[in-house]
Amino acid sequence: MSTRPALAPSTPAASHGGAGALRLGRRARLVVGLVSALGLVAFTWPFVVTPESGLAHSTDGPWLFVALVPLLLLVLVAEAADGGLDAKAVAMLGVLAAVGAGLRVLGAGMAPLEPLFFLLVVAGRAFGPAFGFVFGCLTLVAGALVTGGVGPWLPFQMLGAAWVALGAGLLPRVRPAAERWLLAGYGAAAALAYGLLLDLWFWPFLATSAAGGDLAYVAGAPLGENLARFALFHLATGLGWDIPRAVLTAALCLLAGPAVLTALRRAARRAAFGAPVQLGGA
């Protein structure tokens, strides 16, 4: 008699759609929605804050949103409660987060050429939106610990990376021949959007410390005025870093995307995420 796990022959992760290792269960959807809503508030508060608010006159604002970190980790708890997170999925998360942390070191967390975004896109695509959201969060935490990049910016980086991978998992099904082009276009757009969001989080605290000018944030100014000021700030500072990141992400999706996706989907198929392990004999 022999004993071995009875694995399912295939899993949704092997398809070319967005379904993957972790399904987006009811609790997980609620937590992801809550975290995303709070994240949008955290990013966009400069456009609605009043001049009398303490946020408009101090650097304490980012620390208020560090409270988002425990909420991000609640996604893991929600997935476990929904039964979508098993030991094999946790192991895969750990392995990919370690790889992502290594890629984060290559980009030094600041350089315009960051291969990490390619991994965020293909992992989210291969394993689905829930896996992608958790993976984006964990990878940025691991990368910050390795590079010494822990600070008030980390929750915003975690949200941005989580949204990038989540969006990749939500992309529609396409033919295999067209998938690399879909991922390349999405990867470029997501890399640009990530840069814009990260510029937005620190713009009020950086620009107001200068002598003023058209780039400076003005608390309580009309929405259109501050939007115009931020657009000028982004064009003058961050866009030059975001474009190389977008180009590299798109190029990697075109050149290496199909091979990496095949490897990730094969790993998911062999692991049979979500399938109960049963001992049987012959």
Identify the CATH number of the domain in which residue 150 sits. 1.10.1760.20
- Asked whether residue 238 is domain-assigned, the answer is yes
In a domain, 5, yes or no: no
Average pLDDT on 254-263 reads: 95
Mean pLDDT, residues 16-30 taken together = 61
Q: Which pLDDT value is given to residue 57? A: 42
Bigger pLDDT: 255 vs 70 = 255
Copy the structure tokens of residue 244: 């190389």
- Looking at per-residue pLDDT, the higher value among 3 and 262 belongs to 262
Say whether 221 sits in a helix, a strand or coil.
coil
Q: What is the number of other CB atoms lying within 10 angstroms of the CB of residue 235? A: 12
> Please, which residues have CB within 8 angstroms of residue 25's CB and are 6 or more apart in sequence?
78, 79, 81, 82, 83, 84, 130
183 domain residue, yes or no? yes
Instruction: Tell me, yes or no, whether 281 lies in a domain.
Output: no
- Which pLDDT belongs to residue 9? 37
Whole-number pLDDT of residue 68: 65
Give per-residue pLDDT as tens, 185-232. Answer: 999 999 999 999 999 888 887 766 555 578 888 878 888 999 999 999
Residue 165 to residue 137: CA distance in whole angstroms? 9
Structural domain of 78: 14-271
At how many degrees (to 10) do helices 239-255 and 223-236 cross? 70
Residue 278 is assigned to a structural domain of this protein: no
Counting the structural domains of the chain, the total is 1
Q: Is residue 8 part of a domain?
A: no
Task: DSSP letter for 173, please.
Answer: P
Q: Is 7 a domain residue? A: no
Average pLDDT of the residues of the chain: 79
pLDDT of residue 67: 66
Beta strands in the chain (DSSP E): 4-5, 279-280
Q: What are phi and psi of 84, to 5 degrees?
A: -90, -5
pTM for this model (two decimals): 0.82
CB atoms within 10 A of CB 50: 9
- The pLDDT score that the predictor gives to residue 250 is 97
Task: Tell me whether residue 3 is in a domain.
Answer: no
The mean pLDDT of 260-276, rounded to a whole number, is 77
> Could you give the percent of the chain with pLDDT greater than 90?
33
